């Protein structure tokens, strides 16, 4: 169960600093996603060897977040894009320690 509300999330979360972060993956989330989960932050460091593993790591922090990003095929939702070090990625894309992963909303809507 996820909740909406609370203040605007910090751009840099507590996870972005601290020992060992250079071994982890830098993950940057879209504001529209962050705002759906109280306490969520727009940028953090997570451990995970694939994009899929990172979505599970997000879900462990903010239950329900993986379902907002991944559908039941399973695949990244159609109107979201994930970039690993600047290259468009899928759930199976491998992620090296120190990489930067962007989850972005695509152009959509009316």
Partner 1 sequence: MSKAKSSRTLILIGTKKGAFLAESTDGRRTWQLRGPYCAAWPINHVKGDPKSGTIYAGGGNEWFGPAVWKSTDRGATWTHSSAGLAYAEGETPIKAVWSLGGTGERLYAGVEPAGLFESTDHGETWRHVEGLTDHPSRKEWQPGGGGLILHTIVPHPTDPQQLWVGVSAGGVFHTADGGATWAPRNKGTRNDYLPEDQRYPEYGQCVHNFAMGAGSPDRLYQQNHCGMYRSDDGGRSWRSIEAGLPSTFGFPVAAHPRDPDTLYLVPLNGDVLGRYMPDARSAVWRTRDGGATWQALRNGLPQQDAFFGVLRQAMATDGHDAAGVYFGTSGGQLYASADEGENWTTVAAHLPAITSVETLIVDE
Contacting residues toward partner 1, per CB under 8 A: 1-5, 30, 32-33, 35-36, 64, 67-69, 71-74, 77-80, 105-106, 108-109
For the bound state, the minimum distance from the C-beta of residue 77 to partner 1, rounded and expressed in Å, comes to: 6
Identity of the residue, 81 or 97, whose beta carbon is nearer to partner 1 in the bound complex: 81
CB within 8 A of 39, min separation 6: which ones? 6, 9, 62
- Count Cα neighbours of 6 within 13 Å in the Cβ-side half-sphere: 14
Q: Report the SS3 class of residue 95.
A: coil
Identity of the residue, 35 or 100, whose beta carbon is nearer to partner 1 in the bound complex: 35
How far apart CA 46 and CA 103 sit, in angstroms, is 14
Identity of the residue, 1 or 17, whose beta carbon is nearer to partner 1 in the bound complex: 1
């Amino acid at each position: 169960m996820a909740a909406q509300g609370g203040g605007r999330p910090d751009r840099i979360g507590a996870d972005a600093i601290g020992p060992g972060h250079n071994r982890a993956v830098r993950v940057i989330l879209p504001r529209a996603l962050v705002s759906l989960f109280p306490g969520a932050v727009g940028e953090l460091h997570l451990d995970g060897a694939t994009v899929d593993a990172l979505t599970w790591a997000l879900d462990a922090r903010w239950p329900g977040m993986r379902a907002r990003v991944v559908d039941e095929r399973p695949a990244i939702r159609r109107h979201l894009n994930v970039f690993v070090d600047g290259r468009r990625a899928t759930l199976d894309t491998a992620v090296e320690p120190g990489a930067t992963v962007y989850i972005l909303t695509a152009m959509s809507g009316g």
